[in-house]
């Protein structure tokens, strides 16, 4: 499934929006998006395959281990030119890496 097909899916979009507010467990995403837990896991897996979500393991105060999912999608740019559709996706990780590279270049040149 390509990124445009994935983002055309209502459940995937709901999950991205809910996990953009703060990292959330699959159970929380299921409740907030009013979709089954199995559907959440299928969509999260697809979103992770396209680097649009990250998974973080956490330990709660009661010692329970939980996985929390967070949206990494920052921008999406679609361009139609000369009969071709071009999709550019930027994630938060890429933006952070770009800033770090820029900072290192500036620091090294001084």
> Domain containing 55 — which CATH number?
1.10.10.10
- pLDDT digits 0-9 by tens, 97-106: 445 555 556 5
* Residues contacting residue 43 through CB under 8 Å, at least 6 positions apart: 9, 11, 12, 15
Report yes or no: 22 and 12 within 8 Å, Cβ to Cβ: no
Residue 26: other Cβ atoms inside 10 A: 19
Question: How far are the Cα atoms of 9, 28, 66, 96, 98 from residue 103, in angstroms, in the given order?
Answer: 38, 37, 35, 10, 9
Q: What is this structure's pTM? A: 0.73
Domain of 69? Answer: 3-109
- pLDDT digits 0-9 by tens, 43-96: 999 999 998 999 988 887 888 888 999 999 888 888 888 888 887 878 776 544
Q: Give me the number of domains the chain comprises.
A: 1
């Amino acid at each position: 499934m390509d990124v445009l097909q994935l983002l055309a899916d209502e459940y995937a979009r709901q999950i991205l929006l809910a996990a953009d507010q703060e990292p959330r467990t699959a159970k929380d995403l299921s409740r907030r998006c009013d979709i089954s837990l199995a559907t959440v896991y299928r969509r999260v897996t697809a979103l992770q395959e396209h680097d649009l979500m990250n998974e973080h393991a956490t330990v709660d105060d009661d010692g329970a281990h939980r996985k929390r999912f967070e949206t990494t999608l920052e921008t999406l740019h679609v361009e139609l030119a000369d009969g071709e559709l071009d999709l550019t996706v930027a994630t938060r990780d890429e933006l952070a890496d770009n800033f770090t590279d820029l900072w290192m270049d500036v620091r090294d040149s001084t």
